[in-house]
Amino acid sequence: MRLTVPAPLGKTPTKQMPSIQVFGTEESQSTRGAIRFFRERRIVVSFVDIRKRPMAPAELRRFVDRLGARTLLDETSRAYRDGELAHLRMDDREIAARVQADQRLLRLPLVRFGDDVTAGRAEPAWTAWLKPRAGAARR
């Protein structure tokens, strides 16, 4: 289920920019923090709850290709501890397969802005995304 989170202040127009997608769960404090970060800046966010709609393999592969599978693995999660994964030696391909099979292992939130992606709370990167790009037309 995709949920588009409206910008605050009702009908206030949002900044013209590519869409920002946030993958996470409604229960995740860091996911709620990411959505709040963008809403405070009047940016419309497309939120995907991965418990209701798991990430597509191609979408997950995009994050793995750009960040590396180990970066996506949340080593503090309950699923990581319960699966006793700390005792295993896994390469990136094996980690990616485990994360695809059990998305509770993901470091949340996963945020995508065009071709840029982040895993976990990455406010400095998000702030950099929102700055006007060099050569962009000003109004």
Tell me the domains of the chain and their CATH numbers.
Answer: 2-130 (3.40.30.10)
pLDDT tier at 54 (50, 70, 90 boundaries)? Answer: very high
Average pLDDT over residues 56-79: 86
More confident of the two residues 35 and 98:
35
Task: Indicate if the pLDDT at residue 137 is higher than 60.
Answer: no
Average pLDDT over residues 18-30: 91
pTM listed for this prediction: 0.77
More confident of the two residues 97 and 39:
39
With both helix axes pointing from N to C terminus, report the angle between 29-40 and 123-130 in degrees, rounded to the nearest 10.
Answer: 20
Give the pLDDT confidence score for residue 87 in this predicted structure.
65
User: Cβ distance 119 to 63 under 8 Å?
Assistant: yes
